[in-house]
Structure 1
Amino acid sequence: MKLYYTPGACSLSPHIVALEAGIDLSLEKVDGKAKRTAGGEDFWQINPKGYVPVLELDNGERLTEGPAIVQYLADLKPESGLAPANGTLARYRLQEMLGYINSELHKTYSPLFKPDTPEQTRAERKDYLRRRYALLEDVLARQPFLLGDRFTAADAYLFTVTNWAKHVDVDLSEFTALGAFQQRVGERPAVQAALVAEGLKKAG
């Protein structure tokens, strides 16, 4: 399987999940602005949506949208515990959390990366993010991971989007449990390996 990714983008989440599950993926870097792959392909032809991640399966089919991809990968290795079994309430809790991160955090960050976003809009988005993070702070103050004592695909997603805060001047220092979570997840071997592979940190 092949993962189309942009360093540090939301595609980092399925990259982490694959490594946590012990799934071998080939990586194809995508220039998000030029919409070209490292191999010179037109990315619009690969994903008409125009954004990563894209998971290309061995049969040539392509799966898009991070929350769907991480669940697909986790289900390939159910023993990894990265996603609870389908049909259980715990699985719906995972989907609930993936949906919250996707709609309330991920998409709220998007305008902050655009240089032409008005300052008033930036301030509103930052305030909105802090209010949405407050709920997660309460969760993480009670337990080490979003769904309890075990790392899941939701944690990979939260870690990925929260890493963006420092790049767009979002101050999350008031959320101490969240800060501890970021450090804890960032120290996981699979997370370290993903960061090195994407050129986001040096090996060793």
Structure 2
Amino acid sequence: MRSVPVWLMVCLGVIFSAGAPARADSEPCQSAELFAADTPPFELPADETIAHNGASVTGSTPLDGVFWSPQLQRATVERSREFHLCADDGALHTAAEALRRQFGQQAVLTFAYLPQNAPAANAVIIDVPLVDAARFRDALAADPAARSRLRGGSVTIPDHTLVLVAGNDDREVARRVVGEAGGDWDAAYIAYGRSELVE
């Protein structure tokens, strides 16, 4: 669904990756993304947990997750990971909840790709190439609306692509913070779907 694969938003909101979501060989794939904090060893056990809960992992991308902490009143950066999945809505939620419980995470963010005008579509996922994580952190911290509405984003470690998951009503906030972070909105790839923060 994305030409190049958000950020995990700990509160809400969070890639361009080296590879786009793939389709399963034997059946149609409902492409989706799952974002979680990554504390090694994490990737392989997480793959197993996701598979055991009805979703298929087609790949993953390491991220620098940038999050605004209301408690600390500052933006923090932590290693995160985006899992590219084939999963229906039920399996996506179940897998996210299982990961959250198993690894003691505050929240796990999911995004299921849908047509733009689908009734369930409530968000967009935005990939912006060549954005520095530190510069995005500073832009987020300096923008009160972005802090409260987006609350974070991710930058892919392989190719420095900013990933934002934003509500349908927050696209202008996303556009502004992308510019403040030095990103080129005209180069952004935008896809539509449904996001859920599983807490």
TM-score (normalised: structure 2): 0.27
Bigger Cα Rg: 1
Structure with higher strand content: 2
TM-score, normalisation: structure 1: 0.27
Q: Looking at both structures, which has the greater relative contact order when contacts are Cα pairs under 8 Å and sequence separation is at least 6?
A: 2
